[in-house]
């Protein structure tokens, strides 16, 4: 579905879901791992120490090489542990594979939110492996992890995951197109309140070109075509305490004028102002290139820093980085940073080997390869300079001010509801995203379609907020 957005792929209709597979019921038949501090856990390595350790990894976004290099390093240091590398595209395919592995009784030793579902979906159902005893036993320094990340990795007071990386969002822009049009570069100062979504739209109009009725160059890619569209004016779909409780219990998007206005702004950029491509136009423009921005036919792109390694290969035009704009009234931004984690499902056949691998994948040694070389920032505070050194070298064409946009981005962004709530994947996939898709197709205004969808959204919340 996503056209301006490489972080996840949202595949909805026709995909197998956890409900249709009956996975949670089947998963209950598997023998769960004993708590790591128990006598049974202590016997686990000798009983099944040689069992392969399955790692569920994302394919298709250029990450495979980085994952493989990291795993090669682990296996060279742990010749007695065999890692089973399972690569699956992100999004619904990733969720489906994870659920099938749970149902089969051979769950993954590590998985990440390479979809719109975080570990709390599983932790709330008693399926996540508690890591506290392992961390205490091995003296893992939790203080070195990003504070928001480590806070979010707890469920009901227990550590269920370890932070991996941060994917903050920035504006990428095509310098060549800006220079040809004589348009000033967008600001690099995160505190420049003259830089608003209205100014962004104004620039996008200047950089959009037509030949007859055909648009040959767009001023911007679709700013956000998923739930984040509702955040653009500084608001949210849910009460802010959602991020503390980890459970969506209320829907406010149909009554919040800022949320509705932001969604309408995105729709208008495609359908009225025509400065951003529709989903169909995006598909046509992207033919033959990994991302729409790399086609050279889009002047600006809102995206996360995971695109850095791909964009570093661009030689057809010059590109730069700018800060994200403020809402039109100059109020505070509401922009999301993905903070990923590695988590483990109970019932792994090689518990000790699985823990050693999960611990390694969040270590400084591993994170210097992934995520740092790939592009996202490390979850380890001690590796901040390492990320700067690697990416400063990789992105040597960026000015110091532009590079500083990347360094500071996460300071101005908030954790997202996908990774850190129990029921976002259900509510969004089944009800909110279909409503947004209708808006992008021009079937009605944001206010009308969201109001029409609100009863279904609230029903989905009520049915998913309580986990039996």
- Report the pLDDT value the prediction gives residue 421, as an integer from 0 to 100: 94
> % helix / strand / coil in the chain, to the nearest 5?
45, 15, 40
Query: What is the pTM (predicted TM-score) of this model?
Result: 0.87
Angstrom CA distances, 12 to 91, 96, 426, stand at 9, 12, 11
Cα angle value 169/421/104 (rounded, 5°): 110
Whether the CB-CB separation of 440 and 449 falls below 8 Å is answered with: no
Whether the CB-CB separation of 338 and 419 falls below 8 Å is answered with: yes
User: Which residues fall within 8 angstroms of residue 56, CB to CB, at 6 or more apart?
Assistant: 86, 88, 94, 97, 98, 101, 108, 110, 111
- Report the pLDDT value the prediction gives residue 21, as an integer from 0 to 100: 33
Whether the CB-CB separation of 323 and 187 falls below 8 Å is answered with: yes
Whether the CB-CB separation of 111 and 98 falls below 8 Å is answered with: yes
- Report the pLDDT value the prediction gives residue 107, as an integer from 0 to 100: 97
Angstrom CA distances, 451 to 192, 224, 425, 438, stand at 34, 20, 20, 13
* Structural domains present in the chain: 18-165+340-398 (3.40.190.10), 169-336+419-464 (3.40.190.10)
- Report the pLDDT value the prediction gives residue 384, as an integer from 0 to 100: 96
> Three-state SS across 77-106?
HCCCCCEEEEEEECCHHHHHHHHHHHHHCC
Residue 431 DSSP one-character state:
I
Cα angle value 442/443/447 (rounded, 5°): 90
- Report the pLDDT value the prediction gives residue 49, as an integer from 0 to 100: 53
Cα angle value 86/108/418 (rounded, 5°): 95
Tens place of pLDDT per residue across the chain (468 aa): 333 334 444 333 333 333 333 333 333 333 333 333 333 333 333 334 589 999 999 998 889 999 999 999 999 999 999 999 999 999 999 999 999 999 999 999 999 999 989 999 999 999 999 999 999 999 999 999 999 999 999 999 999 999 999 999 999 999 999 999 999 999 999 999 999 999 999 999 999 999 998 999 999 999 999 999 999 999 999 998 998 899 999 999 999 999 999 999 999 999 999 999 998 898 888 888 888 899 999 999 999 999 998 899 999 999 999 999 999 999 999 999 999 999 999 999 999 999 999 999 999 999 999 999 999 999 999 999 999 999 999 999 999 999 999 999 999 999 999 999 999 999 999 999 999 999 999 999 999 999 999 999 999 999 998 775
């Amino acid at each position: 579905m996503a056209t301006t957005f490489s972080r996840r792929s949202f595949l909805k209709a026709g995909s197998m879901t956890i409900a249709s597979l009956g996975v949670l019921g089947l998963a209950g038949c598997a023998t769960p791992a004993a708590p790591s501090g128990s006598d049974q856990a202590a016997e686990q390595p000798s009983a099944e120490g040689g069992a392969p350790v399955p790692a569920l990894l994302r394919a298709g976004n250029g990450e495979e090489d980085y994952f493989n290099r990291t795993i090669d390093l682990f296996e060279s240091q742990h010749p007695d542990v065999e890692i089973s590398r399972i690569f699956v595209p992100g999004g619904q395919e990733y969720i489906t594979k994870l659920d099938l592995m749970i149902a089969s009784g051979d769950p993954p030793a590590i998985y990440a939110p390479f979809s719109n579902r975080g570990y709390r979906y599983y932790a709330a159902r008693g399926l996540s492996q508690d890591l506290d005893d392992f961390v205490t036993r091995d003296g893992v320094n939790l203080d070195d992890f990003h504070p928001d990340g480590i806070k979010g990795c707890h469920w009901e007071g227990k550590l269920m995951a370890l932070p991996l990386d941060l994917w903050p969002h920035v504006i990428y822009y095509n310098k060549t197109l800006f220079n040809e049009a004589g348009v000033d570069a967008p600001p690099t100062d995160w505190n420049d309140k003259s830089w608003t979504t209205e100014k962004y739209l104004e620039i996008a109009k200047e950089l959009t070109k037509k030949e007859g009725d055909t648009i040959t160059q767009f001023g911007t890619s679709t700013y956000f075509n998923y739930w984040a569209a509702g955040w653009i004016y500084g608001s949210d779909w849910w009460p802010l305490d959602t991020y503390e409780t980890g459970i969506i219990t209320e829907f406010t998007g149909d009554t919040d004028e800022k949320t509705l206005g932001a969604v309408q702004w995105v729709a208008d950029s495609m359908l009225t102002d025509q400065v951003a491509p529709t989903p169909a136009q995006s598909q046509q423009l992207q033919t033959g290139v990994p991302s729409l921005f790399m086609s050279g036919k889009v002047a600006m792109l809102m995206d996360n820093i995971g695109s850095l390694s791909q964009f570093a290969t661009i030689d057809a035009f010059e590109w730069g980085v700018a800060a994200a704009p403020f809402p039109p009234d100059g109020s505070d931004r509401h922009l999301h940073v993905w903070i990923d984690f590695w988590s483990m499902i109970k019932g792994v056949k090689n518990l000790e080997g699985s823990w050693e691998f999960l611990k390694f994948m969040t270590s400084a040694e591993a994170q210097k390869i992934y995520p740092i070389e790939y592009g996202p920032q490390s979850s380890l505070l001690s590796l901040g300079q390492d990320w700067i050194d690697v990416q400063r070298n990789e992105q040597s064409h960026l000015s110091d001010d532009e590079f500083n946009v990347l360094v500071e981005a996460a300071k101005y962004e908030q954790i997202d509801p996908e990774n850190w709530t129990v029921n976002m994947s259900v509510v969004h996939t089944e009800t909110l995203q279909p409503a947004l898709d209708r808006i992008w197709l021009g079937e009605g205004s944001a206010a009308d379609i969201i109001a029409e969808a609100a009863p279904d959204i609230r029903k989905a919340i009520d049915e998913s907020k309580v986990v039996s």
